[in-house]
Amino acid sequence: MSSHCKFYFILVFLFSGLGTPVYGVDIALVLRSESKAFEQVVNGLTDDLKGDLQFSEHVVDRGTDASDIQSLVDEVSPNVVVLVGNRSINAYIQYQQVNKGEDFPPAIVLAALYVDQLAVKIDNVTGIRYEIPAVTSAIHLRSLLKHDVKKIGVVYRAWMKDFIEENVQYCKREGFDLIGYEIGGKSKRYSSKIKKGIAHLIDEGVDALWVINDNALLNSESLVKGWIPGLKNINKPVIVSVKSIILSKFKFGSFAVVLDHYDLGVQGASIIAEIMDNNWSVEGREIELPLSVRKMVNLAIFKKKGIEFNVKKLSEMDEVIWD
């Protein structure tokens, strides 16, 4: 392995406590970044498949490259590769590019942003999306509020147009109109465009705003100079899918629908079980939507903004923030 790479090994063997793979046993090579959320994904995966697979789990970092992945594949000879997080996926893409033309074991991608765009770069792959569809959040928000929710606004960058259009169709099926404001250009500073987008969507009469996961639109500068001043005098619910935003001192998001990472791992385990039964083939499988979410509401913001809600529905929330 490359000397520049800080590479940590966590070996989880469910068939044996030995430090080498057990001959004749199916093996899953799990690659993930350092993160408690990713640990939860792996826990859900391994707990659900305990007794069916031997797991070799490895934590990767920015220095992990194709040669590191090659060494692990040679050592483990996995029947399946599980890639948790974008960093793991990017390293595995490099590995496949170096070994173009070879046969690769099936790969499962989990907990990575915009999996569909990454999956086309990987041979023999399937997985689960990390993004929660707008319609899922909208349905839960509608059930909580006293007033109806019909129009939802979203600010997005041009490269996400296909993703937004797909969500428009999902929303239509449930009686919602998803209205987008597209930001063009390649500038890394989007604060003024975010504020302009919010103002445009409010003029369009949206009942709520949906904030998507996009690092360029959710960095500290965009939050402080774009979203927060842009939303200061707006009394609409703001839907987010990142827990830290709804909990932050900025009081940015007021309603969150976030993934349950443990259950995401369980869902990934069910995919692996199915491809095991199908002789390790992923042929014909599409990228799945996540099945399990957690609902959170920041009542302090609701009350400050005068957003009326049904108190009885609070029991359906997984977490309520009172102040």
CATH number of the domain within which 87 lies: 3.40.50.2300
Identify the bridge partners of residue 180 per DSSP, sorted by sequence position. 154
DSSP per residue over 185-203, as a string?
Answer: S--S--HHHHHHHHHHHHH
Residue 285 resides in a domain: no
Residue 287 resides in a domain: no
Residue 64 resides in a domain: yes
Residues 85 and 22 in one domain: yes
Residues 241 and 311 in one domain: yes
Pairwise pLDDT comparison (274 vs 21), residue with the higher score:
274
C-alpha closest to that of 293 among 147, 144, 172, 139: 139
Model pLDDT, residue 24: 58
pTM for this entry: 0.85
Q: Rounded to whole angstroms, what are the CA distances from 78 to 10, 25, 30, 132, 276?
A: 16, 10, 9, 30, 12
Residue 300 resides in a domain: yes
Residue 284 resides in a domain: no
CB distance 77 to 280 below 8 Å? no
* Other CB atoms within 10 A of residue 142 CB: 18
Residues 177 and 316 in one domain: yes
| pLDDT over threshold 50, residue 17 | no
Residue 68 resides in a domain: yes
Hey, what's the torsion of the CAs at 139, 141, 143, 145, to 10 degrees?
-150
Residues 304 and 167 in one domain: yes
Residues contacting residue 278 through CB under 8 Å, at least 6 positions apart: none
CB distance 264 to 110 below 8 Å? yes
Residues 111 and 162 in one domain: no
Residue 197 resides in a domain: yes
Residues 142 and 34 in one domain: no
Residues 88 and 156 in one domain: no
| pLDDT tens sequence across 260-299 | 999 999 999 999 999 999 999 999 899 999 999 999 999 9
Residues 55 and 173 in one domain: no
| pLDDT over threshold 90, residue 7 | no
3-state secondary structure at position 170: helix
Question: Count of domains in the chain?
Answer: 2
Question: Is the backbone of residue 208 left (phi > 0), alpha (psi -120 to 50) or beta?
Answer: beta
Residue type, 189: R
E strand or H helix at 107: strand 107-110
Residues 179 and 302 in one domain: yes
Residues 216 and 101 in one domain: no
| pLDDT over threshold 90, residue 234 | yes
Residues 218 and 271 in one domain: no
Average pLDDT over residues 30-39: 94
Domain that holds residue 102: 8-130+262-277
Residues 311 and 193 in one domain: yes
